[in-house]
Structure formats: structure tokens, C-alpha cells
């Protein structure tokens, strides 16, 4: 049996990863460690909590005694660290929290693993690995081409990634690779960069078996609605304005969350120790175009499948681009992120399988079909945060 310790598994990507590995591997055990902060919701892993292979523990990744106890009791093989404060806007209003969770929490996990996995006589027990889940934001910002998207520059590596896919596009001719210098521009990305650096320092100094994955923007089921896509979906259904920073021309590379989970598991099981792997979707789109697409898809679904209209708090004809409200841009807003995943494609055979046109409709329909889950995470702390961040901008 392979035992995973998955931190932050009640959050968006973490819960999808747990669902992914339980569905594809029978010979595993999963220990979930989650502090259940505002973005962690047990409803996201309700079915998994009834799986005999799963153990849930509520706790903080910074709790040394707890982490050491879990590693000893469960003989953990893989640590997958999703636990993080992850929203840029929140990091601007409360940077310290991001440093405590994202840097010190990571260091605690690494140090506990170093002691638990050290073999008698030196070295590390076989089959152990620590995986730090990072972000493309550690690389900073890329320039954006202001014209219409143009075809990808087709190198041999990229051709192997995308095959015959014709739906992929880019807003520029530069991409983040694993060799791109780290240049974070927000407290959030600086804290994630620091976590990456301490992870690699434990590899260089102590020989720790580690990997880092850096992904582009994820989207899909169970996404907490402070992020763009679920926020827009939720607001449209409620007839609320759709806040878009600045002119909405900032570009992100969108990766369907299940594709990301597949890549993470492949790195755990086959990635070269000490290596960084970029996981990107080659699905670039500007924020304003994302919002317009979501409006159009929801309006179409409501017209074609009228049973969904019961979810609306506004007239159907109100679902149009008039809901868009441009708000003051956030400080240091990166213009463009774009990842080149050629390395993971070349070494491990991973590639992004879900075109954005497919993934975005699946995501919207999931949100329409799971309103109870959405309601459970859009009360209390989230509503206060939403009013603070957007109401007066």
C-alpha cells in the first residue's frame, strides 16, 4: 500500500486530487490534513470521508507535533502539500498570514519528513517523496501581445504536447519554463517562491527526495468562489454585477483541474527527484473574454434548458454583458502568465487533455447542479470578504 499525506485536501485542487487518486489507484491509503479555514470545506470531500482508505485529521501544517505523529503512525510515502493561502487580493490585505502558512508551514512539513524518512545509517528510506504544489505566479509577469491571439510557435516539444489540437492559442510568444528566473510581484507569489526555495534547499542540503510542480490557473468543480470563474458564475445567477479588474485584458493560461491532478500524480510516481515540472494548459484567455464566454454559455443553457431558470434571481434577459462592471485594478497586477509544459510531456508523457471550450462548460454545469455546495461556502466569512474587496471599488 502506498500512503499519501495530502495537506489542504478540503480546498479546491486538493479535494480534486484526492478524488482523482482514489478513483485510479486501489492500493493506496490517504491521510488528509486540513485546518478547514474559510476556503476548506468538508462538503468537498464528503464522499471520500466514507472511504475506508481515507483518514481525516483537522490540523495545521505548522503543528510540528501533529505532523510528526501522522508521519510515524501512518508510515507515509508521499507528502503532497496543497495547504496554502492562495488568493492574491487577500495577500495584499494580510501578508503576514501568507508568510506563516506558506513558508513556515512548508518548512515544518519538510523538517518532519526529513526526520521521519531518514534511514538507519544515513540516506532516506526508499519510495519516499515530498511534492510542493506551487504556481506560475512565482515567475512574475510576461508581456502581452495586444492583437488577436496568434498560433503557438510550434517547436518539436510543443508539437508533442498538443498533437493535432487546433483549439489552443496564445497571447504572446514567450512562455515560462522551469529555467525562467523567479520574480514574484505580490505577497502571495513571494510566499510561494520562498516555499519553493526552502524545498529545493532541503534537497540540496539534506538530500531530501522532493519535486515541485508549478501550474497555471486551475478551474473546475469545487472551486471556491473568490476566484474569477466561480465568482462570475455565482454573480450571474444572482443578477449581481461582475467585477472585472481594470480593462480585463490580463491574460491567464487555464488548466482544467483534473488534468492538473493527473500531472501531479505522474510527477509523484515518475518524476526525477530534485526536479521542477511546469504543468500548463495552453489555454490562454483574457479575463474579459472569460467573463463574456461565461455569460454567453449560461444564457444559452437557460434558454435551451429552462428547468435551470429556477436558479436565477434575475430575469433571463438580464444575463448579458451589461452585468460587467470594471473596478479599480489591484496593485501589481501581472499582465500575463503562460506555461510551457514541454518538460513534463517529454519526460512523463503528460499533456493537457481538456480544451477550454469543453472544460468551461463542464465547470458551469457543475456549478448549476451543485448549488447546495456553493451556498455552503458563500456565507459568513466569504460574504464579508466579498463586500470588503469589491463593494466600494
Q: Give the integer Cα–Cα distance in Å for 19 and 24.
A: 9
How many CB atoms neighbour CB 238 within 10 A? 13
Question: What is the model's pTM?
Answer: 0.90
- Which H or E run contains 292? helix 287-304
Those residues of the chain that have pLDDT short of 70 are 38-39, 86-89, 91, 144-155, 158-167, 379-393
Q: Give the integer Cα–Cα distance in Å for 222 and 216.
A: 17
Bridge-partner residues for 31, per DSSP? 5, 55
How many CB atoms neighbour CB 356 within 10 A? 24
CA dist 237 → 26, 93, 274, 276, 302 (Å): 39, 28, 45, 40, 10
Catalytic, 188? Answer yes
**pLDDT (0 to 100) of residue 181:** 92
pLDDT digits (tens, 9 = 90+) for 120-134: 988 999 999 999 999
- Write down the catalytic residue from 60, 136, 196, 284: 136
Catalytic, 171? Answer no
Bridge-partner residues for 55, per DSSP? 31
**pLDDT (0 to 100) of residue 382:** 45
**pLDDT (0 to 100) of residue 385:** 47
- Write down the catalytic residue from 137, 226, 284, 334: 137
Catalytic, 137? Answer yes
Q: What 3-state class would DSSP assign to 126?
A: coil
**pLDDT (0 to 100) of residue 134:** 96
CATH for 2-224+256-285+331-355, options being 3.40.50.2300, 3.90.180.10, 3.40.50.720, 3.10.20.90: 3.40.50.720
- Write down the catalytic residue from 4, 188, 337, 351: 188
Q: What 3-state class would DSSP assign to 61?
A: coil
Per the CB < 8 A criterion, the answer to whether 249 and 259 are in contact is: no
Query: Which of 141, 134, 113 lies closest to 197, judged by CA?
Result: 134
Bridge-partner residues for 58, per DSSP? 34
pLDDT digits (tens, 9 = 90+) for 204-214: 999 999 999 99
DSSP 124: B
Which residues are CB-contacts of 74 (< 8 A; sequence separation ≥ 6)?
A: 3, 5, 29, 31, 55
**pLDDT (0 to 100) of residue 377:** 79
Amino acid at each position: 500500500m502506498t500512503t499519501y499525506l495530502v495537506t489542504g485536501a478540503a480546498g479546491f485542487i486538493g479535494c480534486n486530487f484526492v478524488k482523482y487518486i482514489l478513483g485510479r489507484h486501489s492500493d493506496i491509503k490517504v491521510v488528509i490534513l486540513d485546518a478547514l479555514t474559510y476556503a476548506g470545506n468538508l462538503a468537498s470531500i464528503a464522499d471520500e470521508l466514507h472511504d475506508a482508505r481515507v483518514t481525516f485529521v483537522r490540523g495545521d501544517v505548522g503543528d510540528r507535533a501533529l505532523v510528526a505523529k501522522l508521519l510515524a503512525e501512518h508510515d507515509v510515502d508521499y507528502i503532497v502539500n496543497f495547504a496554502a493561502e492562495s488568493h492574491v487580493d487577500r495577500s495584499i490585505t494580510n501578508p503576514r498570514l501568507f508568510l506563516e502558512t506558506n513558508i513556515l508551514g512548508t518548512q515544518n512539513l519538510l523538517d518532519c519528513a526529513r526526520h521521519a524518512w531518514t534511514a538507519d545509517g544515513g540516506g532516506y528510506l526508499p519510495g519516499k517523496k515530498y511534492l510542493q504544489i506551487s504556481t506560475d505566479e512565482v515567475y512574475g509577469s510576461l508581456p502581452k501581445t495586444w492583437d488577436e491571439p496568434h498560433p503557438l510557435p510550434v517547436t518539436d516539444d510543443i508539437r508533442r504536447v498538443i498533437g493535432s489540437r487546433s483549439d489552443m492559442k496564445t497571447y504572446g510568444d514567450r512562455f515560462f519554463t522551469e529555467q525562467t528566473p523567479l520574480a514574484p510581484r505580490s505577497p502571495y507569489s513571494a510566499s510561494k517562491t520562498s516555499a519553493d526555495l526552502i524545498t529545493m534547499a532541503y534537497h540540496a542540503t539534506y538530500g531530501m527526495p522532493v519535486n515541485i510542480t508549478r501550474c497555471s490557473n486551475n478551474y473546475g468543480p469545487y472551486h471556491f468562489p473568490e476566484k474569477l470563474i466561480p465568482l462570475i458564475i455565482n454573480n450571474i445567477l444572482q443578477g449581481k454585477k461582475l467585477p472585472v479588474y481594470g480593462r480585463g485584458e490580463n491574460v491567464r493560461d487555464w488548466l482544467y483541474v483534473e488534468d492538473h491532478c493527473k500531472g501531479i500524480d505522474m510527477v509523484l510516481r515518475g518524476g526525477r527527484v530534485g526536479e521542477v515540472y511546469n504543468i500548463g494548459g495552453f489555454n490562454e484567455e483574457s479575463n474579459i473574454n472569460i467573463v463574456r464566454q461565461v455569460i454567453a454559455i449560461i444564457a444559452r443553457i437557460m434558454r435551451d434548458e429552462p428547468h435551470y431558470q429556477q436558479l436565477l434571481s434575475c430575469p433571463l434577459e438580464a444575463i448579458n454583458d451589461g452585468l460587467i462592471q470594471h473596478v479599480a485594478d489591484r496593485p501589481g497586477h501581472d499582465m500575463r502568465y503562460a506555461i510551457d509544459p514541454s518538460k513534463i510531456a517529454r519526460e512523463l508523457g503528460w499533456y493537457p487533455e481538456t480544451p477550454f471550450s469543453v472544460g468551461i462548460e463542464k465547470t458551469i454545469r457543475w456549478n448549476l447542479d451543485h448549488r447546495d455546495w456553493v451556498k455552503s461556502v458563500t456565507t459568513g466569512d466569504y460574504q464579508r470578504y466579498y463586500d470588503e474587496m469589491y463593494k466600494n471599488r
